[in-house]
Amino acid sequence: MQKNYDVIIIGAGPGGIFCAYELADKNKDLKVLVVEKGRSIEKRNCPKRVTRQCVGCKPCSITTGFAGAGAFSDGKLSLSPDVGGNLPAILGYDETLKLIGESDSVYLKFGADESVYGVDKEKEIREIRRKAINANLKLIECPIRHLGTEEGYKIYSKLQHHLEEEGVHLMFNTMVEQILVEEGKAVGIVTDKGESYYAGEIVSAVGREGADWFKDKCDEIGIETTPGTVDIGVRVEVRDEVMQFLNENLYEAKLVLYTPTFDDKVRTFCTNPSGEVATEYYEGGLAVVNGHAYKSKEYKTNNTNFAILVSKNFTKPFKTPIEYGKQISQLSNMLCGGRIMVQTFGDFKRGRRTTEERLCRNNLIPTLKDAVPGDLSLVFPHRIMVDIQEMLEALDKVTPGIASDETLLYGVEVKFYSNKVVVDKNFETSVKGLRAIGDGAGVTRGLQQASANGISVARSILKGMER
């Protein structure tokens, strides 16, 4: 196998995929290597979907492999620069909007649904906005293209086959152990198989699951970073009837509250109408909660789930927000034997543990069947508990019933994109020849901006090669 390439991309999530796609599309003579620690998409199968029990696959097929966590996510593409990351601050609003449009056209080319939510319901959205204002909530309006979990998988399968046909070398089941630096410039990588590969350009596109890995690499080779934000919270589950008006008119209502008690930023995230709550496993077996929704009627449930996330920013001397999020998640895992905790909002407010008996009395049936009834006050700091309660009570004014005693709260949901790497407008780090993109670098927070980021950095690389 050859050792020298023009570009090496670490990670085959949306950022890495779209970077490789753009490079191959614009210059078919380029030698491009994509290194991914997980499996190819056709080999990404989660046994839990059959057994209903995690068997501890290493690496986890839900969070790693071609398309990253996006392959099994709900697959929502946010079509506004206001949602999903920091690209507007780096590239400008208009350029980000243009790139989102271009990445969206690629998704459409490979089979994405042409329907877009949130663009043709002006009267209904105006009513939602009015209720949000009355509750001191800010409605962030963003058109949404919904892929669906199973349809997203098909789209990414087509993208993988396309890259292979275009001559992009995809290396799976391979971990990058070292980024080689000579005289202040990144020149190659060393894999866990002891093999070295070299390139004039290296792109780190490791995604959210690889944020901790990339932080370690930043420390090793002196990449400049800044303390980022960590988002910690719960996944909320209610009956579809409670969320019907929001679901039908926005699909995903993005609402932000600055809480009355602590003035903390709290937001809703990743709404899944008629979906199911799911467990994600990270390196070391860490279990965190997430949610999915399917296009196919046979997989639909009677429940809607969404996340409530509290954004925490830290100042010096604290510099490990990822570790902070992991510690809270590990505490929940410890109390639940490595599984996800669930508590009714009624018990949450009253400070008591949810029991199997009370959970069985609920009209609301949990979709995460192996969740363990428990007490989230043993996991979260008091401040986060107050933030979550105040957010639910505000949301209840927009769509009554969310703050019902029967509403289910699953913990912990945490987003590991807080390793914020300092990059220039070409996404080059303080180490020349090494660029950092996507969620793992703290640049983006969603599929669409990560995809747009991949296109942007590919064009920057191609432009540099022309000089």
Are the CB atoms for 462 and 23 separated by under 8 Å?
A: yes
In a domain, 440, yes or no: yes
Compute the average pLDDT of residues 445-452.
Answer: 93
For residues 246 and 178, membership in a common domain is answered with no
Q: Is the pLDDT of residue 375 over 60?
A: yes
Residues 78 and 171 in one domain: yes
Per-residue pLDDT tens for 175-190? 999 999 999 999 999 9
Measured CA to CA, the distance from residue 17 to residue 6 in angstroms comes to 16
Instruction: Tell me what pLDDT residue 328 has.
Output: 95
Is 246 within the bounds of a domain? Answer: yes
Residue with the bigger pLDDT between 434 and 294: it is: 434
Domain of residue 58, CATH code? 3.50.50.60
Distance, CA of 211 to CA of 216 (rounded, Å): 9
Structure tokens at 311: 């954004």
- Residues 10 and 83 both lie in one domain: yes
For position 323, what pLDDT does the model report?
84
The pLDDT of residue 384 is 97
Judged against a pLDDT cut of 90, whether residue 394 lies above it is answered with yes
- DSSP single-letter state for residue 43: G
Q: Which of 80, 70, 86 is nearest to 101 (CA)?
A: 80
- Give residue-wise pLDDT tens across range 344-357: 999 999 999 999 99
CB 74: neighbour CB atoms within 10 A?
Answer: 25
Given pLDDT bands bounded at 50, 70 and 90, which one contains residue 52?
low
Does residue 40 lie in a domain region? yes
Q: How many domains does the chain have?
A: 2
Whole-model pTM: value is 0.79
Question: Using CA atoms, how far apart are residues 25 and 427, in angstroms rounded to an integer?
Answer: 20
Contacts of 337 (CB under 8 A, 6+ apart): 372
Residue 406 shares a structural domain with residue 430: no
* Residues of the domain holding 458: 4-112+147-226+419-466
Question: Do residue 377 and residue 240 come from a single domain?
Answer: yes
Same domain, 358 and 383: yes
Maximum alpha-carbon separation in the chain: 70
Q: Examine the pLDDT at 419 and tell me if it is beyond 90.
A: no
Mean per-residue pLDDT, 190-203? 96
The reply to whether 117 falls in a domain is no
Structural domain includes residue 371? yes
CA distances from 415 to 54, 96, 196, 309, 391 (A): 21, 23, 32, 9, 18
Q: How far is 112 from 396, CA to CA, in rounded Å?
A: 33
pLDDT tens string 215-264: 899 999 999 988 777 899 999 999 999 999 999 998 889 999 999 999 99
**In a shared domain, residues 202 and 316:** no
- Do 83 and 12 fall into the same domain? yes
Per-residue pLDDT at 61 exceeds 80: no
DSSP state letter for 440: G
| 295 domain residue, yes or no | yes
> Same domain for 100 and 203?
yes
CA atoms within 13 A on the CB side of 356: 4
Domain annotation covers residue 176: yes
Last residue of a domain, one of 396, 415, 434: 415
- Considering the domain architecture, whether residues 222 and 291 belong to the same structural domain is answered as no
Q: What is the pLDDT of residue 53?
A: 63
pLDDT at 49: 60
DSSP 428: B
Residues 137 and 260 grouped into a single domain: yes
User: Do 129 and 48 belong to one domain?
Assistant: no
Half-sphere exposure of 428 toward its Cβ, with a 13 Å CA cutoff? Answer: 14
Above 70 in pLDDT, residue 312?
yes
Q: What is residue 294's predicted lDDT score, i.e. its pLDDT?
A: 82
Of the ranges 93-97, 261-265, 278-282, which one carries the lowest mean pLDDT score?
278-282
Instruction: Give pLDDT, residue 448.
Output: 95
Peptide bond into 59 cis (omega under 30): yes
Instruction: Let me know if 297 is exposed, middle or buried by CB neighbors in 10 A (0-12, 13-18, 19+).
Output: exposed
Q: Please check the confidence at residue 143 and state whether its pLDDT lies above 60.
A: yes
Q: What is the pLDDT of residue 76?
A: 84
Q: Which two tokens stand for residue 466?
A: 């022309």
